[in-house]
Amino acid sequence: MAKKKSSKVQELSKSNATHYITGLIILILSVYAIVAMVSFLFTGKADQSNIEGLSLFHNGNIEGIANWTGKRGAILSNLLMNEGFGISTLFLLIFVVFFALRLMKARYFRLLRNFIVYTLLTIWTSVFLTFFFGRFFRNSIYYIGGKTGCFVSDLLRSNFGWFGAFLFIVLLFVLLMIMFNAKTVPFLQNLIKRKPKSPSPPDEPLKDTEDSKDIKGLNALKKLKDLKIETDKKKPETATTTQDGGFEIVIPRGDDGYLPPPPEPPAPKPEPLPPIADDDDDEAEYQRLLRELGVYKPTQDLAHYKFPSVDLLTQYDSGDTQVNYEEQNENKKRIINTLRHYNIEIKNIKATVGPTITLYEIVPQDGVRISKIRNLEDDIALSLAAIGIRIIAPMPGKGTIGIEVPNKDPKTVSMYSIISSKKYQESKLELPIALGKTITNEVYMVDLTKMPHLLVAGATGQGKSVGLNAAITSLLYKKHPAELKFVMIDPKTVEFSIYSVIEKHYLAKLPDADSPIITDVTKVIDTLKSLTKEMDDRYILLKKAGCRSVQEYNEKFVNRRLNPLKGHKYLPYIVVIIDEFGDLIMTAGKEIELPIARIAQKARAIGMHMIIATQRPTTNIITGTIKANFPARVAFRVISQIDSRTILDQTGANQLVGRGDMLFYQGNDMTRVQCAFVDTPEVEKLSKFIGTQQGYPVTFELPEYTGEENGDKAGSVDLSKLDPMFRDAARLVVAEQQGSTSLLQRKFEIGFNRAGRLMDQLEAVGIVGPSRGSKPREVLVFDELQLEQITAGL
C-alpha cells in the first residue's frame, strides 16, 4: 500500500499539471514582490514609520499603508530593500520569474548557470551601489544596496582603503565577465594590443558612377555576402574558454530544447496532370479519378491517430553542459608530459567536451611520426588512469591527432533530448534512426533507407537492447501506422514483448501466429521465408507499375495512377528487427542466414529493411555473407580486438567505456556516439499511449507460408478422415469465391494448422486449386449444385 502511495506521489510530482501550477504560483508571488519593491521607491517614506521592525507575518492592523500591494507588500519590500541587497534584489526576483516560466514550459532557461549569474550579479551590484552612491542616501529611508552591501563595502574600506576597495570591485567585475562571457579575454587583449602602423582600409561599399549600371545591386550583394560570413561565424554554437598558455576548451551547446506539436503525416501532393492523347483511355480514367476522388491518403483509415507526445519520455539530463576545468587542465598536462617523456613535442592542444567523452586534438611538431604517437595509447591511458582511451591518428579532414578520453562524470543523454531537438523534429529523413549525441553534443541521426540495413553488436550489458529501443522509438515518433510495419523477432522472449500492445497499429505477423512477437525458431524460419515472398510480390508490383523504388510506386498509387483492381496497393515500409541473431544462427544455421542474406541483397528498393543484433560478434555468427550485406554497423563495447575487427574491420570497439558508448561505421566513416537512453517504463508508456488508440481491425499479415515439406501434401490427403468442418469450409469457399487459409481462420476461429489441413482436403477433392504463394488459391467450383455433386460421394 505504501509503495502504491509513493508511486502516485512520484507521478503527481512529475506531471505537467503539477509543474505548471507550481510555476504559476511562483510567477504570481515573484511579480507581486517586484511590484511591491517598485512601489516602495515611491511610497516607502510614507510607510516607513508604520512598518519599521515588523515581521512579514505580523497580524495586527496597520493604518495608512500607501504601498500598492498592501501591508504585506510594504513589509516585504522593506525587508528586501533594507535588510537584503537593496535595489539589486530585483535581479534575484527576475531569476525567479524565469524559473517559474521554465516550470510552466513557457520558456527554456538554463537553471544552474543562470542561478550563479544572477546571484553573483546581485551581490556585486549591491556592493557597487553602496560603495559609489551610498553617501547620497545617508538620510534616506532605505539603503540603496541594502544592509548586505553596506557591510561588505565597510569591510573593504576598513581593510584596503578607498582606492584598494575600488580596485577590488573592478577586479571582481572583470572576473565575473571572464567567467560568463568567453569574448571578454579577447576584448581585453585587443584593448592593449599594439595596433599596426598602416592598417589596411576597411572594405567600402561600391560608389555610384556613371559607368556602372547596377551598382546598387552589387552593393546589396556585398551586404548579403557580409551577412552570410557573419552568419557562418555564428553557426558553431560553442562557448570557448582559453586557459593556461593558449589551451582552448570548446564546450558544445548542441541543440536547445525544441518542442513543436507532434508531427502530422504529410498530405500526398497531386502530380501535375499530363496532356491526354486521343487514344489514351487509361490516362483519361486516371485523371477523372484524381479530379473526383483527390489523392489517396494512406492514413485515412486511422485519420484520428495521434502521435505520441515527447512528455511521455523522461528528461534525465538537465541540458546544461557543465565542465570540470580542473579535470581538463590536468588531463592536458598529463598528455603533454607523457608525450614529452618520449621526446614528442606538440605545437598546441585543444579540448572538445562531450557528454561522456572529451576529445583532445593535438598538433605535433614537424618531423614527429604519427605511428609513434599511436603506439603510446596504453602509456597515455596509464598516465590518465582512464579506461577507454582511443587515439585517432590522423583526424579525418583535419591536420590533428585526436585522443578521446572518458569524462570522470559522464552525462546521460536522454531520449527526451533527442526527440525534442530541432534537428529531429524538422528532419525530412524517410526512416530516421536517432542514435544519440556525438562528442560535439550534436544529435546524430541516420536514414535507414540509405543504409539500407543495420548490424548491431556488443557485449552483454553495454547498451545493445537500449540502442534497439532507441531506434524503434525514433521511428514511432515520426511514422504513421499506415506508413510503417515492424516484424519483431525475439529469441530471448523478453526484449520486445513490451511492444505487443501496438500489434494492431505497427506490427506484422504470419496469419497463423498467436503472438506478433516471434520467439519460436521454427516460426522465425517461416517468417523470413514469408518475407522473401513479400519481397518477390512487391517486385512484381513494381514491375507492373514501371517503377524502380517503393517511393516512386507509392507516389503513383496515391495519385490514382495504379488500379487496385489489378492488385496494386499502398506499400508501407517493413522494418525487420532481430534481437540475439547469434542464438538463431547457432540453432538453425543456414536456414536463417540464407533468407536474411537474400532479403538484405534485394529488399532495399521495395521498402524492406533489417536491423539485426547480437552479443556474440564472432566470425561464425557475423559471417562474410552477413557483413557484405550490412555495410552500416553499430558497435558497442566488446571484450577483445578480434571481436572489434569482426564488427568494424578495425579495432576501437574494445576501447569503448560501455553504458551506451558506441561507434557507428558506414563505409569509411567512423563516428563515436553516446547512445540515447530510453528506459523500460518510458517504452511502456509510449506503447500504451499508441495501443489505447483505435487500431486496424486485424494485424498486418505477411504472405501465407506453410513450409516446403507441405508442398505435395494435397496428393497424400486421407479423404476417409475429413475434418468435421470440411463441408462448412467448402460452402464458405464457394460462397466467397476465395480460397485462403486466413479466410478459414477468421470465419471459424481456428488455428493455422487446422485451416491448412482443411485447405489441403479441399484441394484434394478438386474444390480449390494448388497454392500460389501469397495469392489466394483459385476456386474451381462456382455454385452450390456443383459442390453437392463433388461432396455427395465423400
Q: Rounded to whole angstroms, how far apart are CA atoms 434 and 475?
A: 8
Helix (H, G, I), strand (E, B) or coil at 708: helix
Q: List for the chain the helix, strand, coil content (%; round to 5).
A: 50, 15, 35
Residue 278 confidence (pLDDT): 44
Helix (H, G, I), strand (E, B) or coil at 600: helix
Could you tell me how far CA 219 lies from the centroid of its own chain? Answer: 43
Could you tell me how far CA 431 lies from the centroid of its own chain? Answer: 13
247-252 and 346-353 as β-strands: parallel, antiparallel, unpaired? parallel
CB-CB neighbours of 638 under 10 Å: 26
Q: Read off the DSSP letter of residue 264.
A: P
- Read off the pLDDT of residues 244-257 as tens digits, 9 standing for 90 and up: 556 777 777 666 55
CA 611 → CA 96, 469, 526, 549, distances in Å? 48, 12, 18, 20
Residue 253 confidence (pLDDT): 65
More confident residue, 63 or 210: 63
- pLDDT higher than 80, residue 787: yes
Residue 714 confidence (pLDDT): 44
On whether the CB atoms of residues 23 and 102 are closer than 8 A, the answer is yes
The values of phi and psi at residue 547, to 5°, are: -115, 155
The CATH number of the structural domain formed by 325-406 is: 3.30.980.40
Q: Rounded to whole angstroms, how far apart are CA atoms 402 and 393?
A: 6
Place of cell 507588500: 73
User: Above pLDDT 90, what percent of the chain?
Assistant: 26
- Identify the sign of the CA torsion 122, 125, 127, 130: negative
- Identify the sign of the CA torsion 777, 778, 783, 788: negative
Helix (H, G, I), strand (E, B) or coil at 615: coil
Q: Rounded to whole angstroms, how far apart are CA atoms 770 and 760?
A: 9
Residue 490: which of 500, 479, 502 has the closest Cα?
500
Least confident of 204-218, 268-282, 309-323, 347-361: 204-218
What's the burial of 689, exposed, middle or buried (CB within 10 Å: 0-12/13-18/19+)?
Answer: middle
Q: Rounded to whole angstroms, how far apart are CA atoms 554 and 531?
A: 19
DSSP character string of 431-478: SEEEEEEETTS-EEEEETTTS--EEEE--TTSSHHHHHHHHHHHHHTT
pLDDT band (50, 70, 90) for residue 133: confident
The values of phi and psi at residue 483, to 5°, are: -100, -10
Grid cell of 474 as nine digits: 525514433
Domain boundaries, the chain: 12-187, 325-406, 453-691, 706-791
Grid cell of 494 as nine digits: 523478453
The values of phi and psi at residue 564, to 5°, are: -60, -25
Q: Rounded to whole angstroms, how far apart are CA atoms 398 and 386?
A: 25
Place of cell 479441399: 762
Instruction: Read off the pLDDT of each residue in 450-467 and give the average, rounded to a whole number.
Output: 92
- Answer yes or no: pTM beyond 0.85: no
Least confident of 25-34, 106-115, 266-275, 432-441: 266-275
pLDDT band (50, 70, 90) for residue 122: confident
On whether the CB atoms of residues 290 and 387 are closer than 8 A, the answer is no
Residue 176: which of 133, 128, 144, 246 has the closest Cα?
128
Instruction: Read off the pLDDT of each residue in 515-523 and give the average, rounded to a whole number.
Output: 87
- pLDDT higher than 80, residue 633: yes
CA 552 → CA 448, 549, 780, distances in Å? 17, 5, 37
CA 349 → CA 385, 440, 638, 692, distances in Å? 20, 17, 30, 55
Instruction: Read off the pLDDT of each residue in 676-704 and give the average, rounded to a whole number.
Output: 92
On whether the CB atoms of residues 664 and 675 are closer than 8 A, the answer is no
Place of cell 598538433: 363
- pLDDT higher than 80, residue 419: yes
- Read off the pLDDT of residues 744-782 as tens digits, 9 standing for 90 and up: 888 888 877 788 888 888 888 888 888 776 678 888 888
CA 448 → CA 207, 346, 475, 604, 631, distances in Å? 54, 41, 10, 10, 12
Taking domain 706-791, whether its CATH number is 2.60.40.10 is answered by no
- pLDDT higher than 70, residue 80: yes
Grid cell of 249 as nine digits: 576548451
Grid cell of 347 as nine digits: 605545437
CA-angle at 367, arms to 366 and 370, nearest 5°: 100
More confident residue, 118 or 509: 509
Query: What class, spelled out in words, does domain 453-691 have in CATH?
Result: alpha beta
The total number of residues shown for the chain amounts to: 794
Residue 228 confidence (pLDDT): 45
- pLDDT higher than 70, residue 376: yes
Grid cell of 619 as nine digits: 566470425
- Read off the pLDDT of residues 290-338 as tens digits, 9 standing for 90 and up: 777 778 889 988 989 999 999 999 887 655 556 778 888 888 888 888 8
